[in-house]
Amino acid sequence: MIQTTEALLFQLEQQGYRNPQTKIQRLVREKKLIPVRRGLYETDLHVEPYLLAGVIYGPSYVSFASALSVYGMIPERVYACTSATQHKNRRKEYHTPFGTFLYQDVPASVYPYGVIWKTDGKAYSYQIATPEKALCDMLYIQKPPVYSMKDLKYLLFSDLRIDEEEFSKLNREDLQFLCPKYHKATLTQLSLFLNREGR
């Protein structure tokens, strides 16, 4: 479970500890509290990283390769937990005992769409992109952009190794709604590809 320094201090003061900060330091040494970043601790060393991503840096939602991996759309297990942000204007990276967390902007015009809240038991809730949004986000950050359908297909199924069967299951209407909001050539090609393939 995630704990903040402020919450811990309050809890320990209520329990009668005269020096709650010292108690926190002891709990860290005993590995009952694992520092995530300044002012933030986790009590379970084996928690899945995506459950922590939104509290490490936000507002954000899990997307890009991490979400595609969760949905089985790419074969590889990703080395870092990747999340989307808006209006941050720079890529952020955090290295923690739970792994590496990467945050990257997507356009504000598309940020609120295709994001769902999920809960994992009583202790965790998190936001994650739908499969359609995760794919669009992933295509948005690819450089250089692609300007032909041939290059798009190569990017999707060779470079990114998107599973073609899983791709065929994506909601076409959701993709067609999202693509224009990125104002990016690669997403324009995806929209054209969906029309041509009748997906």
Could you tell me if 133 and 115 are in contact, meaning their C-beta atoms sit under 8 angstroms apart?
Answer: yes
Tokens of 198: 């009748």
* pLDDT over 90 percentage in the chain: 78
CA 66 – CA 64 distance, rounded (Å): 6
The model's pLDDT over 105-120, given as tens digits with 9 standing for 90+, comes to 999 999 999 999 999 8
pLDDT higher at 193 or 1: 193
The model's pLDDT over 129-187, given as tens digits with 9 standing for 90+, comes to 999 999 999 999 999 999 999 999 999 999 999 999 999 999 999 999 999 999 999 99
The model's pLDDT over 18-28, given as tens digits with 9 standing for 90+, comes to 898 999 999 99
Determine the 3-state secondary structure of 58 from DSSP: coil
Residues 6+ apart with CB under 8 A from 119: 125, 126
Q: Which residues pair with 120 in a beta bridge?
A: 124
Provide the Cα torsion 98, 163, 124, 31; round to 10°: -20
Do β-strands 80-85 and 61-62 pair in parallel, antiparallel, or remain unpaired? Answer: antiparallel
The model's pLDDT over 35-58, given as tens digits with 9 standing for 90+, comes to 999 899 999 988 989 999 999 999
pLDDT at residue 131 in the model: 98
Tokens of 125: 């809730």
Sorted by where each begins, the domain ranges of the chain are: 2-42, 49-197
**Burial class, 6, CB count within 10 angstroms (exposed 0-12 / middle 13-18 / buried 19+):** exposed
